[in-house]
Amino acid sequence: MEKKKKVVPKRLQGKVAIVTASTQGIGFGIVERLGLEGASVVVSSRKQKNVDEAVEKLKAQEIDAFGIVCHVSNAQHRQILVQKTIQRYGKIDIVVCNAAVNPSTDPILSTQESALDKLWEVNVKSSILLLQDIAPHLEKGSSVIFITSIAAFQPQVPTAMYGVTKTALLGLTKALAAEMGPDTRVNAVAPGVVPTHFASFITRNSEVRRASEEKTLLNRLGTTDDMAAATAFLASDDADYITGETLVVAGGMPSRL
């Protein structure tokens, strides 16, 4: 029996959303879902070609999309991202911090200092610095969402240090919810294993993939649509009384620190 296509609600009409690293994978799924729910969306990633292709795909679905090249570790890029968004739309309602790297699969005590610096820089520090630029422009009732990971709860090889940076985002969510409330809600989504290019080192091996599926209670990996739906919920007024929380979207995989 063919699976019915889900009806997407229009909860975000009139909203303006910035999503970092949003030309592929989970990031693109999120920016697409926010756009389908009525938001004007600002797409960004490091490569102009990827930005252009993503914007074209979104516009083909009658989504109001605008693209900007932004390497989140670059201060000038972050400032231009914010400036151009304000010039075009005059406000910002939703920020989704999705950019992340995993430059090393080594155990933590074998990880090169340069890799440690890059992990901290992109996965944690850049989100803080971007929000410092964005905060003065956020509307009352705005929403910030960090994309963390199931790996945040039990970091282990081959994603140990990556997992630790994602654990830091759980704390950042709590701290900023207190700092930015009551006008801005701050939450996080913790995806399970999703077969994207980013996670290909896990999902391309059929045995490893099957082992990951068996760790879930639903006996399947996640999809970008699963993560996008959870993010759109947290961004919407349906989550109006939720802040400082992490929504785990991992098919029932264990998620306790």
Known catalytic residues are: 162
Contact 72, 21 (CB under 8 A): yes
Which tokens is 50 given? 């990827």
Contact 128, 172 (CB under 8 A): yes
Instruction: Tell me which residue of 119, 96, 93 sits closest to 19, measured CA to CA.
Output: 96
SS3 206: helix
Is 56 within 8 Å of 32 (Cβ atoms)? no
Length of the chain: 257
What span, in angstroms and rounded, lies between the C-alpha atoms of 92 and 15? 7
Element at 174 (helix H, strand E): helix 160-180
User: Which H or E element spans position 129?
Assistant: helix 126-134
**64 exposure class (CB count in 10 Å sphere: 0-12, 13-18, 19+):** middle
The phi, psi pair for 19, rounded to 5°, reads -125, 120
Contact (Cβ atoms closer than 8 angstroms) between residue 222 and residue 194: yes
What residue has token string 């090889």?
A: 157
Please list, in sequence order, all residues whose beta carbon lies within 8 angstroms of the beta carbon of residue 128, skipping any fewer than 6 positions away: 172
